Every structure is written in structure tokens, then in C-alpha cells.
Chains A and B, each alone.
Chain A
């Protein structure tokens, strides 16, 4: 059971560089989301999707883009990285949106922006 797979596990970027964090799930989940985890702040929702072709902003969307072309994949793009985006990023999915379904999390991507 692969569940939710995130790549890469670690990444170091210079300010201004761009990159894409990959997320894939093999559970046919309708709902997918991206969170960032910072010390003392818990997890904050960046973007989410309730199905292929549908995305929406969460609590902290600035500086990030997403798309959902398939049910399985939900990549997160940083267009111009900033030191404030240094964080641990988690992708999560659940069976349905809106939602009493618990989230299934990947193991995270640790991003450092210098």
C-alpha cells in the first residue's frame, strides 16, 4: 500500500528559484490538500482540491500554485522561492470532501530556501 507519496524528501533552493513538489495517491481519493508545518504553528492549509480540475485556496496560498489534472496527482509549485517558504510540506488526501473523512498524509518534504 503506497498511500500518499511525496517527492522529494529534502530540497534546498536559492531565493528566486522555482520548483514543484510532487504528490500522488493511489487510493482514488476525491480530496487532496497541501499543508505547511512550522514550529509552534501547527499545520496550515495552502491549497486544496475536491476533484480533478477543481482547486481552491486555503489559509496561506500566497506564493504557491496548484493544479489537479488527474485524480491521483496534486503538485505544488513555488514560482519564486523566498526564505519565508522554508518549511516542511505535507500532502494529504481523503475519501470525500466536506468532510468527516480523516486525512491520509504523506511523509513530507523538508524545504530550505537560502
Chain B
């Protein structure tokens, strides 16, 4: 089965600074990759997804992620964060033609004024 490792459990950052949340995955076959965001006491919402094509994917709220097949990574970036970006972020992977989406343990992003 596929697996996901989020390399940082917590990332504190000051407002307007850039941020990178790291995600590595493991799979013997091709995969689809996703980033989700969870605000307090809510379900998860899709930030962006990589299905095929361009390896740089843009999502909502100014986030983007880059798929790197050789390094099996899908890191999430934002050039300038806001207080409102404080949330937990989950990387997820699903094998093509499979119904078993696997999630990482999550990265808690805290944006400080």
C-alpha cells in the first residue's frame, strides 16, 4: 500500500514570511497527490491536487505545491502567509484506480503576528 510522511509536525512562522510544508510519499505505482487544510472544529477542505501534467500545481489561498517524482515528494509552499492560514495541513496520496486514500499525520502551521 502507499504511505505518506509529513516531515514536520509543527511549523511556527511569522506573518508575511514564506513557508514550506514537506511531504514525502511511497508507492510502487503511479499516484494522485492532494493537500487538504483543516481549520479548528471543521472537516478537511481541498487546497490543491496533482493528477498529471505540470509538476507545479496552484491551489486556493495562494498555496502551491511541486511534484517531484524522483524524490517522491509533494511539498506545499506559500510565499507570504497570513494569520488566517493558521490551521492543520494534510498531505494525501491515492494510487491510480484505487479507493484507499492515505493521509499523512498532519502539519500544524501557526502564523504569529
Contacts and interface: CB of A to CB of B under 8 A. Distances in A.
Nearest to B52: A100
B79 to A, nearest CB: 24
B102 A102 contact: no
A102 B97 CA distance: 14
B49 A107 contact: no
Contact of A107 (B43, B90, B97, B105): B43
Which residue among B42, B46, B49, B101 has the maximum number of chain A CB atoms within 10 Å of its CB? Answer: B101
Given A4-B43, A90-B43, A102 B34 contact: yes
B103 A42 contact: yes
Interface stretch (A43-51, A64-72, A75-83): A43-51
Interface residues of B, number: 28
A90 B100 contact: no
Nearest to A50: B99
Contacts of A43: 44, 90, 103
A103 interface: yes
A21 to B, nearest CB: 14
- The 5 residue pairs across chains A and B that have the minimum distance between CB atoms: A105-B43, A42-B103, A43-B103, A102-B46, A42-B105
Interface of B: 1, 4, 6, 9, 32, 34, 36, 41-46, 49, 51, 90, 94, 96-106
